[in-house]
Structure 1
Amino acid sequence: MTSPYHLPAGTAHGGPYVVDVTPESAGWGYSSLRVLELPPGGSHTFDTGESEWIVLPLSGSCTVACADEFGHAAFDLTGRDSVFAAVSDFAYVPRDARTTVSTTGGGRFALTGARCTRRLPARYGPASSVPVELRGTGNCSRQVNNFGAAGVFECDKLIAVEVITPGGNWSSFPPHKHDEHRPGEESVLEEIYYFEFAAHDGTPGLGYQRVSPSGQGRGTDVLAEVRDGDVVLIPDGWHGPSIAVPGHHMYYLNVMAGPEAERAWLICDHPDHAWIRDTWPEQPVDPRLPLYTAPSASSSQ
């Protein structure tokens, strides 16, 4: 099954970005994702425009400098070797600012964005402040790095987290949705999944992503084999499972934003599969998790 909502690696590039998903290209109102690859000594400058952004190293380290009418700020990001190696520090840059990402050693950097109305100050997010959550048990065990989650780091609209699923496990399960406004129960959020996989003896990994129609919006329907650098867009629908094949850990970066007045991740489980949560207390968490934990405050910048 092919879908306009599955963007294989290389098909969502734009300008200097190997991934460039904008509200215009996605056909929605808020969520954005750019992935920037820079060589050693490289730099890139962009205007934040109507969006707030978090700059998150996927591999490598960088400096993020931000300037606007209110002043100038610069943050040195220690970064990490890969998304499977460590929690990363990050930088938040506000709307209506000029931002430069520069690197000495080269690297790959995610720019997670959301159209917003409030202008918040530029800030540094230390790796030590990132809550590392173990969600689910058994073969539904996964690790969530809640660096930009609601209630963890202040943004106007943007919500962003990282999920690591050990090889052979399922995540985004039970399938869930957030495409209706139901106060206190469900919020409307556009979502982007960006995937990377751990190789084994040089063999690249892969996984599978399902999105099924919920009766809302566009009737989004995706059944995709996903590989390094692939993107899946979720304007609506039940999303999940996300399945990592045995032998290859799966990483995805989730970017979410929407029209709700309250910035909150409120979801509704698929009624056919919600029962699976009740089985989790009966099983242990996958012993391979966590792959890593956040560093102590004394060892971070």
Structure 2
Amino acid sequence: MSDNHVAELVDLLELERLEDNLFRGQSRDIGTRYVFGGQVLGQALSAAQRTVDPKREAHSLHAYFLRAGDINAPIVYSVERTRDGGSFSSRRVVAIQHGQPILNGSVSFQEPEAGFEHQLSMPEVPAPEDIEPMHPLSAEKLAALPEKMQRWLGIDGPFEFRHVWPRDEIKPAKRPPYQHIWFRLTAPIGDSSALHRSLLAYASDFHLIGTATLPHGLSYLSHNMQMASLDHALWFHRPFRIDEWLLYSFDSPTTQGSRGLARGMIYTRDGRLVASTAQEGLIRIRPD
């Protein structure tokens, strides 16, 4: 079953080309009410990569989520070829649905070159094999949740996650604002570095803004909780494979004004820092 989910996700990121700078993508229903933000990020990056010399690799992506995406309608991606310089290229991407932008983004590309090297060390955590795999909720707990949440938690996805410090998302305890999660694609894919980057963009939206809820004893399953990603930044540092274990190390320096800020660093299991993320999101308790 995992192979089918992975093939479906890879196909989702292989956009239909309508014109030189115009692409169309479909959506995958993962049980959420609206299109998953990571999907739009991954597709936007895929569109931008299709307009750049393959020798130039994406090194940063910055995006704003403007509107919730309709899961039943296609998304059109319009790419503006902003600049092609001697070693860098820049692209602007607008994701459009029903005639309105749902995401604005910019992607920067660079031809690989040698230079200075340093990085922060990977946190000392158990290996993924030493962590118990996630277990599905019991039928009793699942039945007590709203229908859309039952679908979200009941669908077997293309990624496997192993939490270094698991918590009960239905009755979350208050914890410091940081967490570590191992993840990987559940089936091997080819060697296209562009595809691996698009898939990492997709996966980078999982669990990120949720880190900002940890000190408050809340989760996306909490009653009357409204959460939404407002923006997303992603930097690629070094080569990696999304079908091998990666450690996502999160922290949240602040929440205020119904917004939370979360950051992440992504490491290979041998300790190489391959990507960094940052995201601000809406975190709001609505009245009954």
Alignment TM-score, normalising by the size of structure 2: 0.30
Alignment TM-score, normalising by the size of structure 1: 0.29
Larger relative strand fraction: 1
Larger relative helix fraction: 2
